[in-house]
Amino acid sequence: MLKLENISFITDEKDKEILRDINLTVDDRFVAVTGPNGSGKSTLLKVIMGIIKPTTGRIYLDGEDITDLSITERANRGISFAFQQPVRFKGLRVRDLLELAGGKDKKGQESFRHACDVLSEVGLCAKDYIGRELDDTLSGGEMKRIEIAMAAARGTKMTLFDEPEAGIDLWSFQSLIRVFENLYRETSGTIMIISHQERILDIADKIIYLKDGRIAEYDEGSKVMAHLPIDLTAGACAQLQKGAQEKEDR
């Protein structure tokens, strides 16, 4: 269970309040975080991972105060993070990072097989990708899928995804949903996803709707969906995506 108490975050440079007195208890398995641009969604997840240190407030994971723990310590306590914009590494291969994600307890062939399995899960042929360098020879979409695979490969009790659908085409959107389903099934943990995608919001146990750095709504998915402003789920892009998906489904 994750608990945030009076979390606020004020930027050093512009003295802008990005998060305002967030109080939140996450004890559901699949929680979507949504809200307009600039509402503080990414900052909230980065505060949980320890990438951003909150200005005030405390964070508890399964009763332990983790506010002062480093990113590494939080990762080792079972938090994983998939970045919205994946980082590239010259020289490091897909296999290197997937094996790191798979954990030190997996060795040799087992570690390799696990890496191949997670790649297949995100719709990438392991044979073609396992030896590729994570440099600019991979497209944005490929990097994004590998990023998701890395977070899923860790199989931790809390996995945070920052807009996983951004940059993913409709075909692989299906794979993406399957990744979440598998992670949901295989871990007894919690998945938190920042998303604007109606189909992800639809399957969430709960939705957090952030606005201006505050939690405007936090409730069961269907209840929040009924109140969501029209510009969020029915914006021009969302409508286009929905239309294309309906066409594909037909």
For binding to another protein (CB under 8 A), which residues are involved? Answer: 49, 51, 70-72, 75-76, 79-81, 83, 86-87, 89-93, 96-97, 100-101, 150, 154
Q: Nearer to another protein by C-beta: 107 or 223?
A: 107
Q: Nearer to another protein by C-beta: 153 or 225?
A: 153
Q: Nearer to another protein by C-beta: 79 or 168?
A: 79
- CA angle 124/126/130 to nearest 5° reads 110
Closest distance to another protein from the beta carbon of 81 (Å): 4
Q: Which two tokens stand for residue 110?
A: 């087992």
Whether 185 contacts 179, CB under 8 Å: no
Q: How far apart are CA 240 and CA 120, in angstroms?
A: 28
Q: Nearer to another protein by C-beta: 153 or 200?
A: 153
Q: Nearer to another protein by C-beta: 149 or 207?
A: 149
Q: What values do phi and psi take at 52, rounded to 5?
A: -115, 135
Closest distance to another protein from the beta carbon of 203 (Å): 25
Closest distance to another protein from the beta carbon of 133 (Å): 8
Nearest to 105 by CA among 76, 81, 83, 84: 76
Closest distance to another protein from the beta carbon of 69 (Å): 12
Half-sphere exposure of 200 (CA within 13 A, CB side): 31
Closest distance to another protein from the beta carbon of 158 (Å): 12
**Secondary structure of the chain: what % helix, strand, coil (to 5)?**
40, 25, 35
User: What is the C-alpha radius of gyration for the chain, rounded to an integer number of angstroms?
Assistant: 18
